[in-house]
């Protein structure tokens, strides 16, 4: 399953709302997750099963969607949220697949 | 706290072999499925391999199938990745990651936030 993320780059200011999209080539049911990666660090699991926040994920992060179209929303950007975000599917594996990423700058 | 420390990265010539290791601490290693994930320079993560908590089940991405072997030693809290017939396309930073919950197969890699990965350069 191929995951396509848009936009590639999202230019916003602190305090603004960020909306990131992920489209799957086939339905992934509920098995869609979001990861955040900062420079020099491994990815961090933020959201799994479309909308469940992983341990430690702030409430300003929310996930939505169904089937093949999904959205990660950051309600009000904090300085530490500027990073690259990847969607991830585990509906059909192997292989587990990641999207190409959206950089929030 | 959870620690996953990778080692064994190196510069190797195409066609050669390399073995990566990951030392786990701070959690019940034997209760968690584990993954290897790699990230080529400037690219997104790529899942490489999975092993169940008891080591009985393993899965690989197609590009490494038949060349890489994932294994674990629950008595030593270690995860290994034996990589054979390396090609330049295997050049990447390799991370080990645990599955998100114990005693389940979720296929949700969770990384050590302080993880440095093991850098493999095939050239």
Residue A58 pLDDT class (50, 70, 90 cuts):
very high
Q: What is the pLDDT of residues B19-65, one digit of tens each?
A: 999 999 999 999 999 999 999 999 999 999 999 999 999 999 999 99
Give the nearest partner residue to B113 out of A41, A54, A88, using CB atoms: A41
Give the chain A residue whose CA is nearest to the CA of B117. Answer: A42
Residue A66 pLDDT class (50, 70, 90 cuts):
very high
Contact A94 B100 (CB under 8 A): no
Residue B114 pLDDT class (50, 70, 90 cuts):
very high
Q: Where are the beta strands (DSSP E) in chain A?
A: 3-6, 9-10, 18-24, 32-37, 44-48, 52-53, 61-66, 69-74, 84-89, 97-98, 102-104
Contact B62 A43 (CB under 8 A): no
Contact B108 A48 (CB under 8 A): yes
Give the chain B residue whose CA is nearest to the CA of A32. Answer: B108
| Chain A CB within 8 Å of residue B109 CB | yes
| Chain B CB within 8 Å of residue A12 CB | no
Scored b (16 or more CB within 10 A) or e, A51-66 reads: bebbeebeeebbbebe
> Between chain A and chain B, how many beta carbons pairs sit less than 8 Å apart?
58
Per-residue pLDDT, B116: 96
Q: Which two tokens stand for residue B118?
A: 């093991």
> Which of B56-64's residues contact partners 24+ apart within 8 Å by CB, and which partners?
B59/A93, B59/A94, B60/A94, B61/A94, B61/A95, B62/A95, B63/B89, B64/B90
High-pLDDT (> 70) share of chain A, %? 100
Contact A98 B47 (CB under 8 A): yes
Per-residue pLDDT, B68: 98
Give the nearest partner residue to A33 out of B37, B108, B111, using CB atoms: B108
Residue A20 pLDDT class (50, 70, 90 cuts):
very high
Chain B residues touching residue A43 (CB < 8 angstroms): 37, 45, 109, 111
Q: CA gyration radius for chain B?
A: 13
Calpha distance B88→B102 (Å, rounded): 35
Calpha distance B100→B108 (Å, rounded): 5
| Chain B CB within 8 Å of residue A54 CB | yes
Residue A88 pLDDT class (50, 70, 90 cuts):
very high
Per-residue pLDDT, A64: 98
């Amino acid at each position: 399953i191929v995951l396509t993320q848009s936009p590639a780059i999202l230019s916003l200011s602190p305090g603004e709302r960020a909306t990131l999209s992920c489209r799957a080539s086939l339905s992934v049911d509920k098995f869609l997750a979001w990861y955040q990666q900062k420079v020099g660090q491994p990815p961090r699991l933020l959201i799994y099963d479309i909308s469940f926040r992983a341990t430690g994920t702030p409430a300003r992060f929310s996930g939505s969607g169904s089937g093949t179209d999904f959205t990660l929303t950051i309600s009000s950007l904090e300085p530490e949220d500027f990073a690259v975000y990847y969607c991830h599917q585990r509906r059909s594996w192997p292989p587990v697949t990641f999207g190409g990423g959206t950089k929030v700058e | 706290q959870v620690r996953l420390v990778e080692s064994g990265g190196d510069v190797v010539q195409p066609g050669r072999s390399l073995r990566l290791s990951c030392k786990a601490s701070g959690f019940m290693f034997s209760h968690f499925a584990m993954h290897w994930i790699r990230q080529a320079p400037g690219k997104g993560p790529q899942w490489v391999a999975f092993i169940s908590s008891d080591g009985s089940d393993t899965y690989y991405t197609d590009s490494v199938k038949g060349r890489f072997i994932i294994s674990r030693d629950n008595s030593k809290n270690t995860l290994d990745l034996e990589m054979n017939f390396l090609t330049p396309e295997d050049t990447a930073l390799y991370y080990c990651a645990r599955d998100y919950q114990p005693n389940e197969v979720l296929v949700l890699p969770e990384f050590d936030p302080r993880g440095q990965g093991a850098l493999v350069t095939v050239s």
